[in-house]
Amino acid sequence: MTRLPALVALAAGTALAGCSLAPTYVRPAAPVPTSWPAGDAYLRQSEARLPSVTYRDIFRDPRLQAIIDQALANNRDLRVAVANIEATRAQYRIQRADLFPQVNATGAYSYRDSGSSGVVTGTNTGGTGTGTGTGGTGTGGTGTGGTGTGGTGTGTGGTGVTTVSSARSTFQAQLGVTAFEIDLFGRVRSLTSAALSRYFAQEAAARATRLTLVGDIANAWLTYAADRSLLSVSEQTAEAARASVRLTEARLRGGVAPRTDLRQAQQILATAEADLAQQTTLLAQDVNALQLLVGAPVDAALLPPSIEQAATTIGELPAGIDSGVLLRRPDVVQAEYSLRAYNAEIGAARAELFPRISLTGLVGFASTALRTLFNSGSFNYSVAPNASYSIFRAGAGRAGVEYSVAQRDAALATYEQTIQTAFQEVSDALARRGTITEQLAANRRFYEAARDTLDLTNARYRGGIDTFLSSLDAQRQLYSAQQTLVQTQLTRATNLVTLYRTLGGDSLLDATPQGPVTATGSAADAAGVRATTGAR
């Protein structure tokens, strides 16, 4: 029964949980229209909301999928993002530990020797003695001997002191709680909630990094395909220009063609050869860019042969009519969790205006002998509650609240701006998507007409009907039409990648915060961190 008060005090201190002084979080209204823009530049959107997809649903080429998988395992930016998640998760767990008392166990042994603790004194006194002697008498004369007295001696014994040593051993075993804050006003809980929100924000940042990485790899892969097509166009043009130069040289030698025809043919050839050298350089740089994104060498067999073949493997992600799908974008989710963190810190700043109550408790055993350490008579305890309150801080406490509110307001503006930026990016991508099909069809018709024109002008030139200048103009038009067609095909394919990235499509689960976040049980979500980031 003597242990009951201490245990009750410790249990009460642990169980006390204060109310939170943080403002009730309400998600701000999205500062964008509820539907995407409409008009001639935009496609008619379906009524369905954005489905949950993975990058494999959009990037269907197995070669591109293999490169993306390799990047998710090796990319250094993604590794940094995962490490940042682990760091913020650890910070949250450190902060959450303040919700519970820290229990310290100690064991101690002490030995004490006091030196002199007793004195014994002894005294001896010597005896005294006297002696008498008589001389002898002789005959033949008369003589008498003398008489003598013996000496007297006295002796005194010495005094002695004896010291007795005293030593003492002490054994102790204790459990103690030191300065555990009883969170009556929710200061610790507010800080824990802020740490949890920052942890979730960092997880969303990692998903944003992953989403950007996948999009960048797809764009780099398509850029390589376009450069391969442009290299092929340059090679074909250079070969045709060489044939034209040989023809004009022969006609010049025969006196049929002027030297200007030869020089013009040589200009076309020089332009094609310069483009050929440039495209060779660009192809090498494209491979270097891919290897940097992947974080490892890229197998040449995984690279596309042409933009015509690669562009057909990119699927389309339906945008849906509701702009609320933007709330699932990782950067928007990150901004909202940051807003939640600053909102929670207002509660912590408000709690600083109230007294801080802490509890220190100790239970233990103490004995002079180890065998009697845990006997009932060796038990002892102490409980020491403490309350502190700053009566004058020159307005620092209220300034701390104002500072937290200002930070929350800045985070709110950042959150709204993030949504507005996302809306603009999706709208721009939809505007490009709404017209690129017609543009690509027109450029394809232009290319076919330019190719046919070149065939006709060459025939007319060989028949002596048209001048060589007409043939050269037709050749330039075809070369330009081929380059424009390749660029338009690349634009269409990268536009699909942009839609995928701006809509936040690479998400198996809707990561949008839906309600209040509490500290209890939320740390278990950390188990899905690597799954959502794709790290291995």
For residue 144, the model assigns a pLDDT of 41
- Residue 147 in any domain: the answer is no
Residue 378 within a domain: no
Give a yes or no: residue 403 inside a domain. Answer: yes
User: Which element (helix H / strand E) includes 375?
Assistant: none
392 part of a folded domain: no
Residue 114: strand, helix, or coil: strand
Q: Has residue 107 been placed in a domain?
A: no
CATH code for the domain of 520: 1.20.1600.10
Domain assignment present for 391: no
pLDDT of residue 519: 34
Q: Is the dihedral of CA 215, 303, 54, 432 positive or negative?
A: positive
Exposed/middle/buried for 421, CB within 10 Å: 0-12, 13-18, 19+? middle
pLDDT at residue 204, rounded to an integer: 93
Rounded Cα distance, 408 and 401, in Å: 11
Q: Which two tokens stand for residue 495?
A: 């536009």
**CB-count burial class (<10 Å; 0-12, 13-18, 19+) for 73:** middle
494 sits in which H/E element: helix 468-502
| Position 167 in a domain | no
Q: What is the DSSP string of 157-216?
A: ---EEEEEEEEEEEEEEEEEEEEEEE-TT-HHHHHHHHHHHHHHHHHHHHHHHHHHHHHH
Q: How many residues does the chain have?
A: 536
Is residue 144 within 8 Å of residue 191, measured between CB atoms? Answer: no
* The two structure tokens encoding residue 536: 């291995």
What's the total number of domains in the chain? 1
Q: What is the pLDDT of residue 407?
A: 95
> What predicted TM-score, i.e. pTM, was given to this entire model?
0.75
Cα(first)–Cα(last) distance of the chain, in Å?
Answer: 56
CB atoms within 10 A of CB 223: 21
Position 299 scores a pLDDT of: 96
Is-contact 394 5, C-beta < 8 A?
A: no
Calpha distance 274→238 (Å, rounded): 9
Q: Is residue 158 part of a domain?
A: no
pLDDT, residue 18, reads: 55
The domain in which residue 92 lies consists of 21-100+186-358+399-533
Q: What integer pLDDT is reported at residue 446 of this predicted model?
A: 96
pLDDT in single tens digits along all 536 residues of the chain: 444 454 444 455 444 455 778 888 888 887 877 776 766 666 544 333 445 678 898 999 999 999 999 999 999 999 999 999 999 999 999 999 988 888 888 888 887 776 554 544 444 444 444 444 444 444 333 344 444 444 444 444 444 445 555 667 787 888 888 888 888 899 999 999 999 999 999 999 999 999 999 999 999 999 999 999 999 999 999 998 898 888 888 878 888 778 888 888 899 899 999 999 999 999 999 999 999 999 999 999 999 999 999 999 998 876 565 677 788 889 999 999 999 999 999 999 999 999 988 888 888 777 777 677 777 677 788 888 888 888 888 999 999 999 999 999 999 999 999 999 999 998 999 899 889 999 999 999 999 999 999 889 888 877 778 777 888 889 899 999 999 999 999 999 999 999 899 888 665 344 444 443 333 333 333 333 333 333 33
